[in-house]
């Protein structure tokens, strides 16, 4: 398959690229450090990206910023960034990319476990993750030509916890999280929200 990967340079994105390129052609895009550049918050930038890549079999997004800040310190700009970037950026990848995806292809987007397991400082992230996951469930009923859509809902990633000098024990290695993306791309499911959790053992 020819797969457009948006957010290819992040912790999860790097692992997803490695996992997918064993069997597929991966077109790497990100904000600034990939062969293809895209600003998720800018629909024109997304349109340019699709015009560059032509027809693809799958679009995988592991991208999108959202603001982490105490509830009553979140600014209008924090909410606007979170909505425009992680939520509408990924929604627009679907809206503007539906024609670019081959019959029976797929979109795989990224939410996150904060959608259902909240923590202090993450109200805006919980909002956009939950919204993204709700959108994926709804859009699955309407995408044309057998195109599938799923959302991966990662928990804490081990490498991220290490980088933040936090206890890595509750984290799932990025390579394990990446398997959920591969499963979503290569499988037949649609409208699903996958918890990308550490397997037993």
Under rule CB under 8 A, which residues in 23-62 are in contact with a second copy?
Answer: 43
Sign of the alpha-carbon dihedral angle for 165, 166, 169, 174: negative
Number of residues located near a second copy, criterion CB under 8 A = 43
Residue (of 108, 111, 109, 116) closest to 153 by Cα position: 111
Check binding of 168 to a second copy (CB under 8 A).
no
For residue 161, the SS3 value is helix
Q: How far, in Å, CA of 157 to CA of 174, rounded?
A: 6
Compute CA distances 15 → 8, 22, 173, 178, whole Å. 9, 12, 9, 6
Q: Restricting to residues 91-130, which ones interact with a second copy according to CB under 8 A?
A: 91, 95, 98, 114-116, 118-130
Smallest separation (angstroms) from a second copy to the CB of 28 = 27
Q: Choose between 8 and 59: whose C-beta lies nearer to a second copy.
A: 59
Decide if 142 contacts 186 (C-beta within 8 A). Answer: no
Would you count residue 147 as binding a second copy (CB under 8 A)? no
Radius of gyration, CA atoms only, the chain = 16
Does 133 engage in binding with a second copy (CB under 8 A)?
Answer: yes
Least separation in angstroms between CB 5 and a second copy: 23
Of the candidate residues 19, 139, 174, 184, the single one contacting a second copy (CB under 8 A):
139
Smallest Cα–Cα separation from 179: which of 193, 201, 199?
Answer: 199
Tokens 């933040």 — which residue?
A: 164
Nearer to a second copy, 24 or 116 (CB): 116
Q: Work out whether 70 is an interface residue with a second copy (CB under 8 A).
A: yes
Among 22, 77, 141, 169, binds a second copy (CB under 8 A): 141
**Which residue lies nearer to a second copy by CB, 79 or 175?**
79
Site for a second copy in 182-201 (CB under 8 A): 191
Task: Report how far residue 46's alpha carbon sits from residue 109's, in angstroms, rounded to the nearest whole number.
Answer: 15
Other beta carbons within 10 angstroms of residue 12's beta carbon come to 25
Residues lying near a second copy in the complex (CB under 8 A) are found at 43, 70-72, 74, 76, 79, 83, 87-88, 91, 95, 98, 114-116, 118-135, 137-144, 191
């Amino acid at each position: 398959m020819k797969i457009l990967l948006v957010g290819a340079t992040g912790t999860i994105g790097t692992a997803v690229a490695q996992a997918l390129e064993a069997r597929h052609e991966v077109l790497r895009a990100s904000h600034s450090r990939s062969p293809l550049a895209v600003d998720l918050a800018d629909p024109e930038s997304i349109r340019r990206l699709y015009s560059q890549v032509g027809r693809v079999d799958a679009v995988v997004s592991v991208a999108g910023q959202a603001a982490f800040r105490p509830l009553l310190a979140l600014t209008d700009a924090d909410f606007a960034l979170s909505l425009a970037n992680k939520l509408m950026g990924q929604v627009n990848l679907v809206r503007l990319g539906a024609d670019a995806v081959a019959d029976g292809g797929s979109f795989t987007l990224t939410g996150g476990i904060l959608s259902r397991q909240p923590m202090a400082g993450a109200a805006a992230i919980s909002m956009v993750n939950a919204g993204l996951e709700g959108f994926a469930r709804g859009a699955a009923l309407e995408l044309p030509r057998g195109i599938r859509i799923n959302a991966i809902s990662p928990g804490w990633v081990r490498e991220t916890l290490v980088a933040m000098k936090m206890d890595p024990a509750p984290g799932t290695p990025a390579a394990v999280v990446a398997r959920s993306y591969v499963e979503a791309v290569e499988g037949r499911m649609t409208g699903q929200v996958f918890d990308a959790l550490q397997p037993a053992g």
